Amino acid sequence: MTRARCTLSDESGLALIQMAFTLPVLLLFTGLAVDSGRAYLVKAQLSKAVDGAALGAARMLNSGNPRSEAAKIFNANFPPGYLGVTSLTDAMSDPGFYEMHTIEETGVNVVTIRAQAVIPTTFMRLGSFNEVTVVSSGEAQRRMVDLSLVLDVSGSIGGDWPAVRDAARAFVDAFDQRGDRMSLVTYGYGARVLDEMPASRGFDKAKLKADIPNNLPGGTTAMPEGIYRGWDELRTVSNGQQSGLRIIVLFTDGSGNVAPARWDGGTPKGLFTTDFPKRLPDPGNITTDRPQISGLYHSVTGVQSPTWTFTPPRWDSPQTHPSAPYMPETSAHTVHRSGGIPETFPWQSGGLRVDGSPQSTRRALRNYNVVVGKFPADVWNLRNGVTNLTEIIADAARSDDSGDYRIRIFTIGMGSLVRLRLGTIPETSESVLMRVANDIRSPDFDAGQVEGKYYHAATAADIGPVFQTLQNQIIRLSK
């Protein structure tokens, strides 16, 4: 009996000794699990905060203060004291929190956000581990932009011009004057480059905004020449220096109505015809059943010389003016800054589609004269030729593979005129602008080219929000 009790006592004592050694170890491992779990949650939230801050800063590289935007987003996603954190990177003052550098070869801006948080431990203190430091970093990239802004300044815009002007200036203000490039083209009787595309990165934002005309210059709608000059400006940036996004933004309130060619055998000039047939509602009284033909307008200055006007009896009349009885075989564009850009285009193409049919069939020129080898310069052919040419030049710009990156086109149509069915088919200017942009909503969308988009501003009050929507779209593409 005595021996048994002594043995039991010895075993109990041994168990107590073993427990004394193992309990701290068990507590340490338990504490490790608890503290590690808390550190994991802190790490996840910290990663979310730095990622959001990096994206926010990248969005603000065009304007505002990207560092302040990053700090605001970071602090909103990781509040002080989160899960007992006692020390956290100061997003506003810590020099290591925000970093931005540009990859010159690709024109990509890289924003990096780094932060750390210190968590006091609980059970791990038993092992002399009093705190855990959690570190996280996030990165966001933003491609720089080369953008040609091409603005219709024709007289039909009228009293809506201040809204267009202010919206365009706000749009320009959203781009980075240190990294992006921008040119400004306006078109009316002719097309003018008011601000050339800079060769190096950056642009004079204040000058470009001021160059958007304060008052409406007025004129016709030389849309083909406007697109041509916007395309040419993008091409002036040397290969290896171009931004990852090359964009033309075209604004109009109507449809192209000026045919640029060597009408008098010399300098390219434009021949103008008014919109037809008469359609309602037509608040500006723009459309007519008896459209005029007038000329000739210098392709840049818009100066009319010689000056003449001819009004046929109907829009489908085959009559022409003696000063321009036939259309030259091709269009003509001799004012440009880039080398290698085409200077002539056909008046119709069998390769492009209009509502699923070849352009040269659906919107064909008529009454070809086999003796002179030309089409008559009547209202029918002028309208079809200009509309075809608008789409042909836009297609050439989107197909241009001479640069580092393909060109993307966005179009904006304002008001009711762009939705009237005009011309010989008839058709809306909206449908043409969708083809110009290669909008996926168009039945003639080309999946082999970069996709753009058409936007409609129903009234002048809508033009600001439309420009803002387009700006957001470009920013999304630049990420």
Longest dimension (CA), the chain: 139
Chain-centroid distance of CA 96 in Å reads 32
Burial of 77 (0-12, 13-18, 19+ CB in 10 A): middle
Is there a single domain that holds both residue 112 and residue 199? no
- Contact criterion met (CB below 8 Å) for 226 and 278: no
From first to last of the 479 residues of the chain, give the pLDDT tens digit. 444 444 445 556 665 566 555 656 555 556 566 777 888 888 999 999 999 999 888 877 755 688 999 999 999 999 888 888 888 999 999 999 999 887 765 567 789 999 999 998 876 676 677 888 999 999 987 778 999 999 999 999 999 999 999 999 999 999 989 889 999 999 999 999 999 999 998 999 999 999 999 999 999 999 999 999 999 999 999 998 999 899 999 999 999 999 999 998 889 999 999 999 999 988 889 999 999 999 999 999 999 999 999 999 999 999 999 999 999 999 999 999 999 999 999 999 999 999 999 999 999 999 999 999 999 999 999 999 999 999 999 999 999 999 999 999 999 999 999 999 999 999 999 999 999 999 999 999 999 999 999 999 999 999 999 999 999 999 888 76
Is there a single domain that holds both residue 48 and residue 174? no
Is residue 2 in a domain? no
Single-letter code of the amino acid located at 454: Y
Q: Which two tokens stand for residue 128?
A: 């002399």
Is residue 14 in a domain? no
Per DSSP bridges, beta strands 304-310 and 145-152 are: unpaired
Location of structure tokens 């073993």: 18
Instruction: Say what the pLDDT of residue 465 is.
Output: 98
Alpha carbon distances (Å) from 474 to 31, 39, 246, 346, 446: 50, 39, 10, 32, 20
Is residue 4 in a domain? no
Is residue 3 in a domain? no
Is there a single domain that holds both residue 107 and residue 192? no
Is there a single domain that holds both residue 170 and residue 221? yes
Tabulate helix, strand, coil % of the chain (nearest 5): 35, 25, 40
Angstrom distance (rounded) from CA 226 to CA 386 = 12
Crossing angle for the helix pair 2-59 and 66-77, to the nearest 10 degrees? 150
* Domain-ending residue, one of 108, 143, 178: 143
Is there a single domain that holds both residue 467 and residue 419? yes
Chain-centroid distance of CA 278 in Å reads 35
- Contact criterion met (CB below 8 Å) for 293 and 254: no
Range of the domain at 329: 145-478
Is there a single domain that holds both residue 124 and residue 157? no
Write the DSSP symbol of residue 196. Answer: P
Domains: count for the chain: 2
Is there a single domain that holds both residue 199 and residue 303? yes
Beta-strand (E) ranges in 104-240?
Answer: 108-120, 131-143, 145-152, 181-187, 191-195
Is there a single domain that holds both residue 153 and residue 138? no
Enclosing H/E stretch for 270? strand 269-273
Is there a single domain that holds both residue 96 and residue 165? no
Angstrom distance (rounded) from CA 387 to CA 178 = 37
CATH number, domain containing residue 290? 3.40.50.410
* Domain-ending residue, one of 143, 160, 179: 143
* Number of Cβ atoms within 10 Å of the Cβ of 304: 17
- Contact criterion met (CB below 8 Å) for 445 and 438: yes
End-to-end Cα distance, the chain:
85
* Domain-ending residue, one of 143, 165, 197: 143
Instruction: Say what the pLDDT of residue 13 is.
Output: 60
Is there a single domain that holds both residue 330 and residue 199? yes
Is residue 426 in a domain? yes
Among residues 375, 397, 372, the alpha carbon closest in space to that of 386 is found at: 375
Beta-strand (E) ranges in 228-268?
Answer: 245-252, 258-261
- For residue 120, is it left (φ>0), alpha (ψ between -120 and 50) or beta? beta
Is there a single domain that holds both residue 185 and residue 275? yes
Angstrom distance (rounded) from CA 388 to CA 283 = 27
Is residue 210 in a domain? yes
Is there a single domain that holds both residue 139 and residue 193? no
Is residue 81 in a domain? yes
Is residue 463 in a domain? yes
